[in-house]
Amino acid sequence: MANNLSKTVLSLILMVFAATLIVTGCESSESSLVFSSHRNGNSDIYSINSTTLEEVNLTNSRYDESKPVVSKNGNEIVFITKDVNRYFIETMPITGGPRKQLTKNSNELPLFANVEWSPNSDRLSFIQSIESTPTKSGLYIVETNDSNPMRLTSLTVGSSGNWSKDGSKVVFTVNDAYQQGTYIRNPNGVNEYRLTTTVDSNPVWSQVANKIAYVSETNFTSDIYLMDDDGSNIKRLTNDEYTENQISWSPDGRYILFVSQHKCWDPINLLKNCSAVMEKRKSSEELDPDIYDPEIYVVDTRQDNPVSKQLTHNSVLDETPVWSPDGSRVAFVSYLDGDAEIFTMASTGGSQQRLTNNIYEDINPSW
């Protein structure tokens, strides 16, 4: 009987321990996010717990580190480092620790953009721009255990998106007049397919369905479109006089967050240079700043006639919305008090919470 009692007690202890690990793990993955902030005379990468608001400076160096992106497995972050006049890409554990440099130093000045993790978190894609050597500019991939990036295409890439859900392809856009459009490329082979022939940008692959959302420009405005990843079944998700960008897919592959702003938005001249606004002023029509400044919206891609829902309402810039891993929360940047701060809100726009509150620029949230 004592034997059975001991086994029962041991079983209960193990169950409690396992439950604790599960709860702790869930809380860690859902409540913590990373961002960059210019506080100590330079830009560093920070993490913050959205529940306790506890912050940790992960880099804390003399360099400028910016644009952190959390890996798909949640274990690492990639970021761009500036050392005097040199830029390079590095990774490190999400809790801080040893850094690994993935691009080499040189006497040239490469600029990096659109850094994206592969689904298995073992490779990265990015755009490299070198003004002095245009032939070295373009779309690259690099393995996280290597430091020898490989150029992926000979085309002049305007913007790159993310990887397909199986990691077999990367999506990107080309702005050249004769080759413009959205393309996909197989990093492990030679296949490269042109999906559209329009002026596109910001292509983002759904990580659930074989769908690509992207921004396409017509008549000086841009709208969001959706298509199958073979270029078929193109569907327009927005249709207005505004400019849309910064697409972010929900984890379940149904909703898209984006930023929309009126083509007349001009924070410096306060809309004085826009003829459409001036006409309204002449007619004594009251101007609603909520119409013109950049706000965050969400759209349901499965609706037959999609209608966007506005999530933020104010007269300042709101930008860079990103979903939490479970899709219940959205992190974003708002200039509500004059400088950039990190906020979160429910996926419906409610339950908004300020995470940072200082006089510095807190930007680039990643969950």
CATH classification at residue 124 = 2.120.10.30
pTM of this structure: 0.85
Query: What's the pLDDT score for residue 64?
Result: 95
- Quick check: is 67 in a domain? yes
- Quick check: is 22 in a domain? no
- Quick check: is 289 in a domain? no
> Residue 107's beta-bridge partner residues?
none
Query: What's the pLDDT score for residue 242?
Result: 85
- Quick check: is 114 in a domain? yes
- Quick check: is 60 in a domain? yes
- Quick check: is 81 in a domain? yes
CB 152 within 8 A of CB 171: no
Query: What's the pLDDT score for residue 337?
Result: 86
Structural domain span for residue 47: 31-151
**Token pair 């490469």: residue:** 110
Report which residue type is found at 53: L
C-alpha distances (whole Å) from 352 to each of 28, 205, 326, 339, 355 are 20, 28, 17, 18, 10
CA 136, CA 154: separation in Å to the nearest integer?
10
CB 38 within 8 A of CB 361: yes
- Quick check: is 61 in a domain? yes
- Quick check: is 218 in a domain? no
Residues of the chain with pLDDT under 70: 1-31, 105-109, 132-135, 262-292
Provide the b/e sequence for 97-132 (b: ≥16 CB within 10 Å).
Answer: eebeebbeeeeeebebebbbbbbebebbbbbbbeee
Query: What's the pLDDT score for residue 86?
Result: 86
Query: What's the pLDDT score for residue 32?
Result: 81
pLDDT in tens, 241-268: 888 999 999 999 999 999 998 666 665 5
- Per the structure, the count of domains in the chain is 1
